[in-house]
Amino acid sequence: MVNYSEDLLNATFSALADSTRRAILARLARGESSVTELAEPFDMSLPAISKHLRVLQEAGLLAREKDGRVHRCSLAPQPLKQAAEWIARYRAFWERQLDALAAYLNGSSEKERIQWQKIQSSRRPRSRSGGHSPRRGRKSSKPGRS
């Protein structure tokens, strides 16, 4: 059984919770970029992008190198791999549970259908004609005080 660090998983999922950070990771999946290049498609300041990058770096999802005045960023896939393994474990569990539920429901509905047919075939009609009787009107009091 794989041992997952709760803190690492919490940091990973917290970092992935923001759409801007997910978009940054998607860009980094294509290759390394400078902070300025990463900020281009977003309508936010460089300090705001830097905050997002810091969250990704603290979660271990981003590696940063300084080349003179340029900060180069690249994707660090290990935390994503661990998160995917954690999700896969629970996915397998829930797939087994839902498959068992489907098998139970499909089996019980077939049994119920057979039982219903047996009950219906053994019943005698209530009227001589075998048809249904007309419905009676509802008996209710008139509106207002009784």
**For the segment 75-117, what is each residue's pLDDT rounded down to a tens digit?**
999 999 999 999 998 898 888 888 888 887 777 666 666 766 6
Task: For residue 103, give the 3-state DSSP assignment.
Answer: helix
Which uninterrupted H or E stretch holds 64? strand 62-67
Q: How many other C-beta atoms are found inside a 10 Å radius of the C-beta of residue 64?
A: 15
Per-residue pLDDT of 112-132, as tens digits, reads 667 666 766 665 555 556 566
Does this model's pTM top 0.85? no
Q: Which residue has the higher pLDDT, 59 or 141?
A: 59
Q: Kindly give the pairing relationship between strand 62-67 and strand 70-75.
A: antiparallel
Q: Is the pLDDT of residue 26 over 60?
A: yes
Give all domains of the chain, ordered by start, each with its CATH number: 6-79 (1.10.10.10)
